[in-house]
Copies of this chain bind each other. A is one copy, B any other.
Amino acid sequence: MTEFENNDERTELKQLGEFGLIDLLTKNIKLKNKSSIKGVGDDSAVIHHANKQTLVTKDLLVEGVHFDMTYMPLKHLGYKAAVVNISDILAMNGTPTQLIVGIAVSNRFSGEALEEIYEGIKLACEHYHVDLVGGDTVSSVSGLILSITAIGEADKADIIYRDGAKNGDLIFVSGNLGAAYMGLLVLEREKKAFEVDPNMQPDLDGNDYILERQLKPEARTDVLELLKKAGVKPTAMIDISDGLASEILHICQQSDLGCVLYEDKIPIDITTDGVAKEFQIDPTTCALNGGEDYELLFTINQSDYEKLKSIDEISVVGHMTEKSAGYHLVSRSGTQVPLIAQGWDAFLNKEKRNRQ
């Protein structure tokens, strides 16, 4: 259960030095996308999205805030850090093309540990057909911080913003929600048990699905392809990193509209549901506020509904309303509950986790 479990060797970062480390991490990187003109090894990466617009996004992942090294294997961490950024490019209806990796790391980590993180990042690059084109690796006083910049491309006409939803549009989500948060709670429970009795073995049986959603999330390229195939362009889109409630409120705010969600329509996996009840948490709360699902949330014109209704990977969860109607969830019993953006607040998440 430590970050070094797969590493017999340990090369100190000081031995490698900054330049040695960059060589170690970036050797054998081959650029595959036509738009990647120059990768690692100059002052800047050079990219050419001929006749397309360029999308750029950045997310930071901080040890002790966004991840815990006790249960997050380094390779998974690298993979996840790449995926959460790739997901932001998809949420614009773009094609991810390049990544730039910033890592701040204390000397508690070895060269091999950094190689493991890079292995995960490179695996994500391969899976999502993205080139790793640059980075900056520096030392930190304590802990590990990953700052990844994802770059993508899209035809101007294809880009989907948050502000395009119209009154009456249907609200869809991909996949199911709340699973990643339940995975986190299971991992934290086992960590606490391990701290009390270091000889115990973690009890993760039957929870593979939610653990994978937490430790190795995927970005929904498949959903964008299904929409394209169906000939439907959403009017607004966002990825669900902070929970459904906070994300739909972003679309409402930016589109100057209200919304109604229906509790019984929110897709929740059976494992998520079971574990939530085990933890005495309302599964709907997990879907609304859990975060880290990296599913897509989008709105479509009602006239497009017929084209999408047979696609299993997506579900209608509500519709957009006039702004004056506010933001509501209709519960299973039929009562209207105001939607509040509790979200996955980086400044509060420790407390949130403990509170629930």
Question: Interface of A with B (CB < 8 Å)?
Answer: 13-14, 16-19, 21, 37-38, 41-49, 53-60, 62-66, 88-89, 91-92, 94, 98, 100, 102-104, 107, 133-143, 145, 147, 149-152, 156, 159, 161-163, 237-239, 246, 254, 341, 343, 345-348
Contacts and interface: CB of A to CB of B under 8 A. Distances in A.
B138 A100 contact: no
Contacts of A54: 46-49, 54, 151
B18 A65 contact: no
16 contacts: A17-B347, A38-B161, A42-B163, A44-B55, A44-B56, A44-B88, A45-B57, A46-B54, A56-B151, A58-B149, A60-B104, A62-B140, A64-B141, A65-B138, A65-B141, A102-B102
B94 A44 contact: yes
Given A43-B237, A62-B141, A107-B347, 7 more contacts: A43-B89, A44-B91, A44-B94, A56-B98, A63-B141, A100-B149, A141-B142
B100 A56 contact: yes
Nearest to A92: B44
Nearest to A52: B48
Given A18-B345, A44-B91, A49-B54, A102 B141 contact: no
A17 B246 CA distance: 13
| Most B C-beta atoms less than 10 A away, residue of A140, A152, A159 | A140
Contacts of A343: 18-19
